[in-house]
Structure 1
């Protein structure tokens, strides 16, 4: 009997397939592959090294970029939140890190810095999402100051971020694109707008650079009710073993708080995964788990280290059998819907105690 603790298997062939599928959608665009949050839970350095075709990688913060540099990754790296203090600028210059500029404080810090080499800058405009980015009326002044600053390379990238691109029916994306066009159309600089949803649903957002994140890892970035067939394959399969099987009688309860009660005699299976591994604690009764080719329902509350499923009255399952929590036949998007969250959160919440193994292309 071989018991398998919580294990995430990363299919690097699927990752490369997804990258190529994305490239086909925007063949004239360069690809900044987004690797923030430990490559959405898939392993920062391993994912970077599996994508030598990428033109650049995007991370959120400087520690992620430095980890990639320490791991031998030499591709251009872009800090998608920019830098936080002026003291970071020397580190950016030494490590050849590119930065987004999205506020006055960052611009002033670059202007005042004493650097051995100029920085590559991406200037971010808030075209309507109202998160990071300068206001449209600030654009001309920021652009001119960056162009005149000796600490900034001459080839600035103009960018923005789409807030509602996952919804094909929303007018917001076209409004954002109109603002972006009005500000940047006469400039010779490279431009970037499209996230995963923009790549898939809004071809006019592709420009010179696209920034795929969720799609790289095999999940559709569109709303769950969108009928589009996903062109990508899931990269992560999360599995764990059945560690106990026990019979219960009708009307008996299961788990903390006894929030599930059997309606008939049945058999329970206990699986070695829980919220301590990143499985969603609020997954409700009925959330599917794939076991021996069939779906069995979650019953009772998710514990830190275990979940319980209803195997039915006469199961053939055995201790040691491997259950799939999400993967190719049971998508993380479906589990996210049951747990009233989004796939991003489930992937990013995979904990350090989950074993990660890589299936090579």
Structure 2
């Protein structure tokens, strides 16, 4: 059976991108974000590839994501970025040797329900201005007391998250980093600030730990820097195929709502992919794809199972030709802009209908 839509994930590209991160932040340890199924790339194969490449730790959003990795025998340290939400989760986190990110006092109360002998590894998350999760910076002395009173709790470090790291020169980012550093002046424990954008654009965010996400998957987190210019390689290639090629006269309309009108007699291609596969209905006419290595644009509204293309640039295109939605030669971040979104959402939005292939350096997994 031939898959309609295939996402091919090059795990050697993920490993290459990890080395790019290490080059950018040579004095930092790397906690790789593999939450949300490794940004839609496949949590277990990506985590195994990163572990094989010597990553220092992995980061997931929640306990369910961590358990998927542990059940697949991934042994690297794993941090729960949102922490735990019940005493049962706290006990399981200890049993599975997970690092718990603690961001609020109610979580401290949950952890206090653990037996006194429990050996807990934790990070304290501080709110330096993102105003999403984290203790106020003024709580640092209180959190130090908490640790002194609980000798079996091991502090992995202190972390914060930047709100505008993808805006080089942002005064607010400089304020966040400065406030975080000031609050921890003289306080023991490792620091972690930079996500992908932070570690690339803000040298002062390359603290003891960096937490890359998007960069590991070969996308640039910065609007004015391409992935290629940063030395990153796209890890995912999303492909479908042409299932029809038909010619229409000038003025004829294509697809739902008749949004697209043919400006001349022209070939229209139909591709077996749509919003049920994760291709946003919001994609505008003109969104590029690759056919026979040439860029051709969307022509008409995305439907559940199909998109339509203006094939004037490749009039020789035939049924069965491969159509690349994003990947090498067509960056996902560029494609995402045509739906007024970001590459993260494209990757995470792929559905169960998409067939995944994971490639190692020596071939298919």
TM-score (norm 2): 0.95
Aligned to 2:335: 335
> Which has the higher mean CA deviation after the structures are superposed, 306-315 or 79-88?
306-315
SS in 2 for 1:324: strand
The answer for unaligned runs of 5 or more in structure 2 is: none
Distance in 2 between residues matched to 1:313 and 1:176, nearest whole Å: 49
Aligned to 1:243: 243
Deviation string 1:253-289 (CA, Å, 9 cap, x unpaired) is 1111111111211111001111111111110011111
Distance in 2 between residues matched to 1:92 and 1:189, nearest whole Å: 21
1:84 aligns with 2:85: yes
1:256 aligns with 2:267: no
> Which has the higher mean CA deviation after the structures are superposed, 328-337 or 110-119?
110-119
The answer for unaligned runs of 5 or more in structure 1 is: none
Aligned to 2:21: 22
- State how 1:90-239 maps to structure 2 within 5 Å: 90-114=91-115, 116-153=117-154, 155-222=155-222, 224-226=223-225, 229-239=229-239
> Which has the higher mean CA deviation after the structures are superposed, 116-125 or 307-316?
307-316
Distance in 1 between residues matched to 2:196 and 2:345, nearest whole Å: 16
Q: Does structure 2 retain, via aligned residues, the 8 Å contact 1:6–1:238? A: yes
Q: Does structure 2 retain, via aligned residues, the 8 Å contact 1:29–1:208? A: yes
Distance in 2 between residues matched to 1:266 and 1:289, nearest whole Å: 17
TM-score (norm 1): 0.96
Q: Does structure 2 retain, via aligned residues, the 8 Å contact 1:246–1:267? A: yes
- State how 1:255-294 maps to structure 2 within 5 Å: 255-294=255-294
Deviation string 1:53-109 (CA, Å, 9 cap, x unpaired) is 111100001000000000010111100011112221111111111111100100111
Runs of 4+ in 1 over 6 A off after TM superposition: none
Distance in 1 between residues matched to 2:70 and 2:314, nearest whole Å: 54
Q: Does structure 1 retain, via aligned residues, the 8 Å contact 2:292–2:314? A: no
RMSD of aligned C-alpha atoms?
A: 1.6
SS in 2 for 1:50: helix
Aligned to 1:49: 48
Distance in 2 between residues matched to 1:103 and 1:205, nearest whole Å: 23
SS in 2 for 1:87: helix
SS in 1 for 2:308: strand
Q: Does structure 1 retain, via aligned residues, the 8 Å contact 2:220–2:226? A: no
